[in-house]
Homo-oligomer: A and B are copies of this chain.
Amino acid sequence: MKESKYAPIYRQIVQDIQRGFYKTNAILPSENELSQQFGTSRETIRKALNLLAQNGYIQKIKGKGSVVLDVKKMSFPVSGLVSFKELQQSLGRDTKTIVYDFGLIHPDELLQQQLQIKPDAEVWKVIRSREIQGERIILDRDFLLKDYVPLLTKEICEQSIYEYLERELKLQISFAKKEIVVEPCTDEDRSYLDIEGFDHVVVVKNYVYLEDASLFQYTESRHRLDKFRFVDFARRAHR
């Protein structure tokens, strides 16, 4: 897979914004200027700029130009598919992952429905807690189809399943449907989380799809109420 021409341009401009070369509320050079600067066509520049807009770095205004948005306000994990490992790194705090349960199972009825599989399918089940600054704040329940993930080890689960899938197995995750609700604590929550007297948890349910549009993973992240935070950057829906 050869890299596209607009990708390094995108990264360059992101860097220029983050390092303050382009300041908040400033106007980027016009698309024609950028074409010349980068020695490419205008449409290619536009692909890079559209990515910047999608990811909340700029706002394009017809007739005026591309305004640099306040990157500090946007910087927190922008919606989506960010893994705990990445989150952890960006937070830079003392974090730890503890694996409580790990193995192959056959799905119960609920899971069959969630993953759209038959009862005889095999599924990896992983229960982990995430400790931040000495407190177990998040309980992750992962279910992965064995068809796509032939092997999984406890060691991998202690690191990052996500990285393993992408780096080792070359599985390309392409999109996810996310649902956020609040549920009463289960016994499992009380066992594996430092629940601090709360009687509810925030549950983030993730249905994860691969590049070929097949559903292959269901993940549930159960957060202690007081530590939960979700940030989303939403472009206006197209009409």
A residues apposed to B, CB below 8 Å: 7, 10, 25, 51, 54-56, 59, 61, 64, 67, 69, 73-74, 78-82, 173-182, 200, 202, 207, 209, 211-213, 225-226, 228-238
- Cα separation A173 to B56 with both chains bound (whole Å): 15
Q: How far is the CB of A109 from chain B (nearest CB, A)?
A: 18
| Contact (Cβ within 8 A) B59 A213 | yes
- Quickly give the copy total for this chain: 2
Set B51, B73, B235: member contacting A174, Cβ < 8 A? B235
With A61-B212, A177-B232 in contact, do A225 and B237 touch (Cβ < 8 Å)?
Answer: no
| Contact (Cβ within 8 A) A175 B56 | yes
- Cα separation A10 to B234 with both chains bound (whole Å): 20
Q: How far is the CB of A111 from chain B (nearest CB, A)?
A: 16
- Cα separation A225 to B180 with both chains bound (whole Å): 11
| Contact (Cβ within 8 A) B179 A229 | yes
Residues of B within 8 A of A237 (CB): 55, 78, 80-82
- Cα separation A132 to B127 with both chains bound (whole Å): 37
Residues of B within 8 A of A228 (CB): 180-182
Residues of B within 8 A of A238 (CB): 7, 10, 51, 54-55
What are 23 A-B pairs with beta-carbon distances under 8 A? A7-B238, A25-B213, A51-B238, A61-B212, A79-B232, A79-B234, A80-B232, A80-B234, A80-B237, A174-B235, A174-B236, A175-B234, A175-B236, A176-B234, A176-B236, A177-B234, A179-B232, A180-B229, A180-B232, A181-B228, A182-B182, A182-B202, A200-B225
